[in-house]
Structure 1
């Protein structure tokens, strides 16, 4: 009677590859981790943008009103012969050191901004995590308002805060918070090229084009109308 032959193997066992189930579990875990990182980054960026809106933009609006209430004129307007316009004329922005000096001379507290001596600047991150710089100026600009007849608009000179260096995401967030809707043509916050438009159609912010990455999108300037 033949006995079964027992073969003994010596040495290392051959390595076993991942099964489809194991690979699927690994991919799911990687997806969860990447999703958590993306969500965390978006939440952090949203919180930073919210601080830009509440502490920087609204902080400068408060500073403007404090200057006007304390001095009886708007920043840069000649005290001897006030015109009611920033810098006493149309399209003459008050920016940088001149803006800071005007506020300091009136004893008006400015937002913290980027740093001491750079209160008119703020740094934020775009959707790709790249740093961007936002600058605040004040100016008198042409501004369209409803006319007497329905559907008509008149252009008047109004004092505005200029926000230079906005990405599409930050522009949309500020517009939604200040006006309650996204529209570069109407409301208190408008794109600079739309502020004096007299058309009746709503328009999107120009840099917010479908399929365009924020790193490729040009920054833009917005006007926020002041109360005086």
Structure 2
């Protein structure tokens, strides 16, 4: 008895050809590639949001404070020092620095002041040395109280009372917090002399992004956005030379303690060194200084 199957039925039983399989695999590859690209696009969008909604807004708030108060944050209004937290400094042995008692005997330049360089924050946040070397002591004055005192609105941050903080995810998916403080750096400081915004809790990836937005190029030693704790160039040939790149991302876990157990090698200052490199660990965190104009 003859088989009277239609040509369509015979084509269905043949299965997929090599060309068809190649097309399917190509489509799958495109989908996977699109997912990977989408993750990068999403991360870049989050970084741009941090720059626009947090970092630049704090820069604007700092400038507005200067215009409103007639001096930088925490400085004396009637006898300014031009230093962040200047009202806590001492001058020529006088207890009341803002009155400059006996100050005519010495020049009123920062080198003649003592008790300088403390950072003004809204609480300690990260412990000293936890997100990079070079942390200064905490000032007595509170960042949030100073802004509220002169009526300058702060960026929203994490919410009421935590305007100086911002929550984001590192590239391993761990929740990470940014913190903003301000301090004065003495002349010769590699991260920039004068008044700076201290941004703590940066992954190298985010630091590079912000550096490019602020300076136009990622350079952790030069420009207006620099890493805290980097040693200054010492040789004469190093003057105005290119700086140093930001540490590679995801190469070593930071020494942040979690239940008294470090998530990786406690070597936050050497992110390119050999160490634990698990993709579930927290990415190394850094501190940067953004040099202010006032």
TM range (shorter): 0.7 to 0.9
Summarize deviations over 1:37-91 as a string: whole Å, max 9, x none: 2222211211111111122111111111111111111111233543211112533
What number of residue pairs does the alignment pair up?
Answer: 209
What is the CA-CA distance between 1:25 and the residue it aligns to? 3.4
Q: Is the 8 A contact 1:190 1:223 kept in 2?
A: yes
Gaps of 5+ in 2: 3-12, 87-114, 124-141, 250-271
Q: TM-score, normalised by structure 2?
A: 0.62
CA distance in 1, matches of 2:85, 2:40: 39
Cα RMSD of the aligned pairs, angstroms, is 3.1
Summarize deviations over 1:81-129 as a string: whole Å, max 9, x none: 4321111253301111511111111100111111121110111223334
What is the CA-CA distance between 1:16 and the residue it aligns to? 8.6
Q: Which has the larger radius of gyration?
A: 1
Residue 163 (str. 1) matches residue 204 (str. 2): no
Summarize deviations over 1:126-184 as a string: whole Å, max 9, x none: 33343321110001124549xxxxxxxx9984000001011111111111111111111
Q: Is the 8 A contact 1:87 1:94 kept in 2?
A: yes
1:189 aligned residue (215, 225, 244): 225
Residue 109 (str. 1) matches residue 175 (str. 2): no
1:174/1:195 Cα in 2 relative to 1: closer, same or farther (>3 Å)?
farther
1:114/1:28 Cα in 2 relative to 1: closer, same or farther (>3 Å)?
same
Summarize deviations over 1:178-201 as a string: whole Å, max 9, x none: 111111111000001237545434
What is the CA-CA distance between 1:206 and the residue it aligns to? 3.0
Q: Is the 8 A contact 1:93 1:140 kept in 2?
A: yes
Find the counterpart in structure 2 of residue 205 from structure 1: 246
